[in-house]
Amino acid sequence: MKLSMFRVVSLLVVLAAFFTVDSVFSEDFLVIKKKSGATQKIPLDFSPEQIESFQVETGPKGQPAETVAPKQTFSTSATESRPSSEGPAETSRPSIFSPDSQPIKKGPQSGQTTTPSGPTRQLTSPEKPAPIKSIDQSQAKPVPGGDSGSASSTKVGTGGGIQQPSPVQSSFSVSVYKLPENIAALPDFSAFKPLVSLNTERIFLDPAKGQQEPSGLPEKLDDMGIRFIGTFLVSREGLFRWRVESKDGVRLHVDDKTLIENDGIHPTSSKEGFIHLAEGVHSIILDSFNSKGAPLLKLFVQPPMGQEEIFTINKSLVGWQEPAKPYDVLWGHIYFVPQGNYPEGPDFNKLNPIGRLIASQLDIEGGEIPGIPGRKDMIGLKYQGFFNVEGAGIFAFRLLSDHFAKLTIGKSAIVELPKGSKSDSPGSIGWAFLQQGSYPITLEYFHPQGEPKLQLFVTQPTSPEELFSPARTLTGFSQESGKLSLIPAFVYFVPPNTKKMPSFNKMSPAGMFFTKAIDYPIDRGSKEFPGIPKREEWFGIRFYVKFSLSDQESGTYKFRVVCNNSARLIIGKKMVINAEGSGVKTVNQSGSAELTPGSHEMFLDYLQTTGPNGLQLFITPPGGEEKIFSFE
């Protein structure tokens, strides 16, 4: 006879009950409870502890039972073998100049280790640039929305076994209680028997204005208590703001949290509370009492992205739309910061997030902060995410904020805005040399009061500024740049008030770029050098060229440098030109060098302090005409 799944489970339940009760006797039985007919007891000739699994087998009539394959098996083992979901480990990342270099996929890879690449090009001469300090990518990558630094974080999943939620109710179950006279605080309603039981979809009780939900309440509500119990559905997660308007005591519970408490006898007042709700079914309990006179009780809710409305229990609450690609957004943790002075921002590691939000880009300017309904003061945000880079180069990040904000890429702090930043200022700029790969990004923001403002822009080496978005891949100089006939240029950021050309041999480059020609006239229409975005002063550049001459090409070469501020040309170990400028006038200086057949190294160092900038290198070969130095 073929047994259904329900019947098999019933057999297991009965079997378990038998083993716990009947096994104390001298004989053991297998007890089978049928849907109809008498219960059957089958004697066992072995100890019940020896049973490893229980199965029901069916087959054609007349077929020996032992030849039929098992139809369903229920194992008593607590563990099961599961296939691993992890792919092969990726233990290294190629340099951007490796022929086999491939972009790293955004987000954490199973088994992947990301180590910072070395300099873009290795040079061993004492005059050659030191390794570039690129952004460290080795930071452990958090799960989207996770906050490994905080004491506790909002959990998205249950993590344990599957739990069946209570079914969603279409209405509140309402119990009305007669309380002792002169009641002054919320009692324990479990000690009272309901006077009447009702149902309602909303809590909107204001008889003085003709509004009475629930309906059917007694005419006189002096010394009356009302308890509302129900379940509701959240279709998308997010931070929800709840508000209760009441006369006399009220207490609101959502799930296992006391969200609002406004107990005692008091005139009409309003209190609010915030809670992050995951997608699924949630429970709600509201207790209230009315001492004397007409009662007033109203319950409101405001979703993350919307207006406040009367809470209706049979209407799903809608939060954030889950992104199709979780690594194409920034996940923000929300902190309600205690009152105080935080010139360097609060320590988020000592605060517990109250919820989280999602941002495709950071462009907050005035009004409410998206995802935080009904609150603007004493708010901390910590955004985390990832972004991809193709190629390599120096990227400029511009951060605007009304108060404290800090941008970190990998483990390197890029930009930090201190307390008291003006919302109408252009913000602060930081630079990062990024090589090909995937980078973690963190942005901390503290808003104490007033109108919030938080914007993050990025300028790529050869592209205009735009709002930063983790979904867009940032692009630097291609992997093939180092193989082409291009001139590498190493960039150094020098301290303000630097008076003379520093020794670049003792400094580490802040980044690099490539150029076809050393041709940046002062009147070129821009103060920026292509490859050094958003930087017009206090930097140095070292152009490195290695070239070979044949017997026919050897001879005396003339060089001319036009610059503002200073430049120095070295070929081999000879100083050909040393043009020291003051930043006021344009320097025009020439020199010559006798170049023999074979290989030669050339360095052109340039310093820009303040004011106009420009650099041009001209070359006149033996018996030839002067032209811009280039590899074209």
- What tens digit of pLDDT does each residue of 73-122 get? 323 233 333 333 333 333 333 233 333 333 334 443 333 333 333 333 33
Spatial separation of the C-alpha atoms in residues 313 and 317, rounded to whole Å: 9
Q: In the chain, pLDDT over 70 holds for what percent of residues?
A: 74
For residue 265, give both structure tokens.
């006898």
Q: Is the predicted pLDDT of residue 12 greater than 50, yes or no?
A: no
H or E segment at 382?
strand 379-390
CATH architecture for residues 172-310: Sandwich (2.60)
> For 481-628, which CATH class?
mainly beta
Q: What is the arithmetic mean of pLDDT over 396-421?
A: 91
Length of the chain equals 632
Q: Is 69's pLDDT higher than 50?
A: no
> How many of the other CB atoms lie within 10 Å of CB of 426?
8
Q: Beta partners for 467? A: 457
The CATH class of 347-475 is mainly beta
What per-residue confidence (pLDDT) applies to 480? 75
Q: How confident is the model at residue 60 (pLDDT cuts 50, 70, 90)?
A: low
The residue-averaged pLDDT of 199-209 equals: 94
> What does DSSP say about strands 539-549 and 487-493: parallel, antiparallel, or unpaired?
antiparallel
Instruction: Indicate the pairing of strand 566-571 with strand 574-579.
Output: antiparallel
What is the C-alpha to C-alpha distance for residues 291 and 515, in angstroms, rounded to an integer? 82
Closest to 518 measured CA to CA, from 463, 448, 567, 474: 567
CATH 2.60.120.1560 in the chain: give the residue spans: 172-310, 347-475, 481-628
Give the pLDDT score at 179. Answer: 95
Strand partners, 621: none
DSSP strand E in 216-278: where? 224-234, 238-246, 250-254, 257-262, 269-277
pLDDT score at 479? 73
Summarised one tens digit per residue, pLDDT across range 20-59 is: 333 333 467 777 766 555 667 777 776 776 676 666 665 5
Longest dimension (CA), the chain: 118
Please indicate whether residue 501 or residue 31 has the higher confidence score (pLDDT): 501
pLDDT of residue 518: 96
Closest CA to 416 of 395, 440, 438, 397: 397
Please name the amino acid found at residue 15.
L
239: nearest Cα among 294, 176, 317, 310:
317
